[in-house]
Amino acid sequence: MPRHKADRTIAALGVVAIAATAAVFSGCGDDTQDQVNQALDDAQQQIEEASQDAQDQAEQIQNDIQDQIDQATGDETTTTTTATTTQAPSDY
């Protein structure tokens, strides 16, 4: 996954955290309290979604790296096997 997507996710989390904090400090009445609670619920949901997205991205990167390792290991084994089988026989 591109790094800029992860950066946007982190920035969005920061904005949500700041907005939630501001909402808590500005609330004084019942309507305001309901709005604050809704804002906090929305922020929590966004954080959970962003966290899941980040986890999915990390797993995809890990799988991609493992695939590359498997391919490199497979290529190395093939090269080693080919080199071993193409050597000239010894004179015994």
- Confidence band of 24 (pLDDT split at 50, 70, 90): low
pLDDT tens figures, 60-81: 999 999 999 999 988 554 444 4
- The predicted model scores a pTM of 0.47
3-state per-residue secondary structure call for the chain = CCHHHHHHHHHHHHHHHHHHHHHHHHCCCHHHHHHHHHHHHHHHHHHHHHHHHHHHHHHHHHHHHHHHHHHHHHHHHHHHHHHHHCCCCCCC
- Confidence band of 91 (pLDDT split at 50, 70, 90): low
